[in-house]
Homo-oligomer: A and B are copies of this chain.
Amino acid sequence: MKLVVIGMGLMGGSAALAMRRSGAVTSVYACDVSPQSVQKAVAMGVAEKGGCDPCEAARGADVVMVATPVLSMESIFRKIRPVLSPGAVVTDLGSVRVTVQLAARRSLGEKIARYAPCHPIAGGEQTGVEHSNPDMFIGKRVISTAEPDSDPDAVRIMEALWKGCGAEILRMSPERHDRIFGLMSHLPHVLAYAMVAMIAESREPELLLSMGGSGFLDFSRIAASSPVMWRDICLANRRAISDGLRRYRKELEIFQKALDEGNADTLVAEFALAARARRRLSSPAPKTKEKGQ
């Protein structure tokens, strides 16, 4: 199976490595607007060949995986549509589903039937193909958000590819996906960015940042994520994120009031509620290895 990855960054590179290792993919073509990223992918053995032109890339592909920031996807779908083989499967790794799937419907034309979107709940704050990791998807979830008119064969192909990477498949509507991940992934990114931006805008950012312990480092790790990728996610899923942020700000009002009034009971009740919920998810703490720590 020939895989073409358009957008050769951390996610595209990791998916290519993992799918090749599983044996399902036998050749990979790396496409990126940056010739450097293509060169790195080839030098690292992520891909055999590569180039900057999506049309050239997509020709003859069995699977075309679009792994760019979500708002770039529509123009890529539009460009590749005329050159797709009849049986080619098109997929993308976008963290936002409704907007991207509407874009796919607008731009892929009759090829929409062979569009099988899957969002892997995996990643990292590091950017660039040089950080690619074929283990990234082991034990992780991949959310398959196919629509009623998706070709079951295309969906099966994509789901099998992801299972081969060690992931577990979960099917969900695009709408439900966006509500859940707007709250559980997109909103925390906004909150972490806001915290670090506030420190960066303070009078002594360097000193403050140097004082962050492992708690701060964990909390703020996602604030190192790609700004362009997250700008696109925020715009593409802004209704859900905006609603979540509004609810969170109401929650913070409760905490502000409790702090200002020295209301020990409210504080301990909210903390205990959160700690009980969070502890159900956690096993021993990871070792945090970072500079200055």
Contacts and interface: CB of A to CB of B under 8 A. Distances in A.
A183 interface: yes
Interface in A158-207: 180-181, 183-185, 187-202, 205, 207
Interface residues of A, number: 100
Given A218-B218, A259-B245, A286 B283 contact: no
Interface string A264-276: 1001101111111
Given A270-B197, A286-B286, A286-B288, A123 B213 contact: yes
A102 interface: no
A88 to B, nearest CB: 29
A292 interface: yes
Contacts of A193: 255, 270-271, 274-275
Interface stretch (A50-58, A103-111, A148-156, A221-229): A221-229
Interface in A233-286: 234-235, 238, 241-242, 245-249, 251-256, 259-260, 262, 264, 267-268, 270-286
A59 interface: no
Given A252-B245, A274-B223, A199 B215 contact: no
Contacts of A248: 194-195, 198, 252
A252 B260 CA distance: 19
Contacts of A198: 247-248, 251
Given A231-B264, A235-B267, A197 B273 contact: yes
Contacts of A208: 180, 183-184
A227 B217 CA distance: 20
Contacts of A287: 286-287
A277 B196 contact: yes
